[in-house]
Amino acid sequence: MNQDALSLSKAIDRGQLSAAELMQATLARINAVNGKVNAIVSLRDADELMQEARAADDAPRKGWLHGIPMAIKDLSNAQGLRTTRGSPIYKDQVAESDDLFVARLRAAGALIIGKTNTPEFGLGSNTFNPVHGATCNPYDAGRSAGGSSGGAAVALAARMVSVADGSDMMGSLRNPAGWNNVYGMRPSWGAVPAEPLGDVFMHQLATSGPMARNPVDLALLADTMAGPDPRQPNNSIVGLTAPTIAQPLPAQRIAWLGDWGGALAYEAGISQISETALQQIEALGHTVEVIPAPFDAERMWDSWITLRSFAVACGAQHDYNDPKKRALLKPAAIWEIERGNRLTALELHRASMIRSDWFRRTTELFAQYDALILPSAQCWPFDLTLDHPVEIAGVSMDTYHRWMQVVIPASLIGLPVVNIPAGFGDNGLPAGLQLIGPRASDGQLLRLAQEWHLATDWPDRKPPVLD
């Protein structure tokens, strides 16, 4: 299971590997290591999966994912599997149909084997919940895997799957990728359409996206998940990214945002590992410039927590309004919903005006720079028994998610971001960097990530030891 998805796909296409053999190896790997990390949940019956794999061997090839096992993040629907969302409210809910991007994966030939673990409702960048328990970091089982795509990142790092989907509102495709030494991509907002349910205009924060152990697989999966949906008004057309990923990349001008002028607290070693990686990027022929904080961090934070609480409250109102279900919600969910319920129309307008001001400011930045860079997290993977960090470098974190403030510059305005593995600290733990570009620059970011990967290849250079 050390091979990447494209290599496995080519081997199946050439008859050098059967889907049944790959499924058997996948199930054996899951049986050997999943008990140590708890990344894959709701695993389907092995006999059924082997039967599907043998059927794939006898069927015409559907696409590049033909015969490739995948597990879907447990916030999304895969027909016939539970979608628990990590909540006891939904622990027995079975999906009647696929979400749009899952249907696209199946259409490309993927074999859906189960789900990957997530925090309850995806809230909080630490993957634990009362339904499936906690997911451990494969580099230190006593530490967090991050989240909310923690199960997906660990399943990749532990070689249980070769590619995975995730979703990202507040760093959920970036923080766990960085903490598990893999690649994660938040696409331009709208590139991967959400489900065409309820309001399709107002909530422009979260998106689904790909995770992989190299940028080529990342690009291929992004292209499979993305594409227009005529039922939704805000699709971003970014074009195919995989066909251009190997093209030579002109020298890039990159802005290093550091600690945002002192606004972001970093745990010891985060700045150092980031700056070492920046020197390596410069050695590839690019220019990295340190720039001052381009926007007021507190204004941005106020906008973010207002719009996020608004979105969470709207999505979970039916659970909150039922006293029996409300009693099962975790404190972070209650806090978000009750904040959202108190918001006025003018407060939402002010938050969106701040968001608009920041977007206008980025158009000026991207006239000077091809990409912006920030760490993927402000601290190292923390103790698994903590819900979230309460302080970083002596600075108190005043909310359950303030410690992830570093990811909101991109999330707030829907910019594409690729997490690249940045290496390992003296503590033996991995870290990542966010490559941030203007809207629809997904392909350009992936080309930069591929150049980095060819020079470093951290996922294969230092995989976790679980055997």
Distance CA 122, CA 311 (A): 13
Selection from 78, 67, 66 nearest residue 42 by Cα: 78
pLDDT of residue 293: 98
The single residue of 73, 87, 149, 188 carrying the catalytic annotation is: 73
Per-residue pLDDT of the chain (467 residues; tens, 9 = 90+): 689 999 999 999 999 999 999 999 999 999 999 999 999 999 999 999 999 999 999 999 999 999 999 999 999 999 999 999 999 999 999 999 999 999 999 999 999 999 999 999 999 999 999 999 999 999 999 999 999 999 999 999 999 999 999 999 999 999 999 999 999 999 999 999 999 999 999 999 999 999 999 999 999 999 999 999 999 998 888 999 999 999 999 999 999 999 999 999 999 999 999 999 999 999 999 999 999 999 999 999 999 999 999 999 999 999 999 999 999 999 999 999 999 999 999 999 999 999 999 999 999 999 999 999 999 999 999 999 999 999 999 999 999 999 999 999 999 999 999 999 999 999 999 999 999 999 999 999 999 999 999 999 999 999 999 97
| Upper half-sphere CA count for residue 170 (Cβ side, 13 Å) | 23
CB 189 within 8 A of CB 239: no
Distance CA 338, CA 358 (A): 27
Residue 102, H or E segment: helix 100-107
| Upper half-sphere CA count for residue 74 (Cβ side, 13 Å) | 40
The single residue of 9, 42, 125, 148 carrying the catalytic annotation is: 148
| Upper half-sphere CA count for residue 319 (Cβ side, 13 Å) | 22
CB 393 within 8 A of CB 266: yes
CB 15 within 8 A of CB 84: no
pLDDT of residue 101: 98
Residue position matching structure tokens 């996922």 = 459
CB 94 within 8 A of CB 80: yes
Residue type, 382: F
Three-state DSSP at 70 gives strand
Structure tokens at 451: 């150049």
Selection from 131, 115, 210 nearest residue 168 by Cα: 210
The single residue of 9, 42, 144, 172 carrying the catalytic annotation is: 172
148 counts as catalytic:
yes
pLDDT of residue 234: 87
pLDDT of residue 383: 98
10 counts as catalytic:
no
Quote the crossing angle between the two packed helices 442-456 and 215-225, to the nearest 10°: 160
Distance CA 89, CA 183 (A): 32
pLDDT of residue 351: 98
CB 355 within 8 A of CB 412: yes
Distance CA 444, CA 438 (A): 10
Number of residues that make up the chain: 467
| 26 contact partners, CB below 8 Å, separation of at least 6 | 1, 69, 113, 160, 161
Structure tokens at 171: 């760093």
For the chain, domain boundaries:
5-461
Three-state DSSP at 99 gives coil
CATH superfamily of 5-461: Amidase signature (AS) domain (3.90.1300.10)
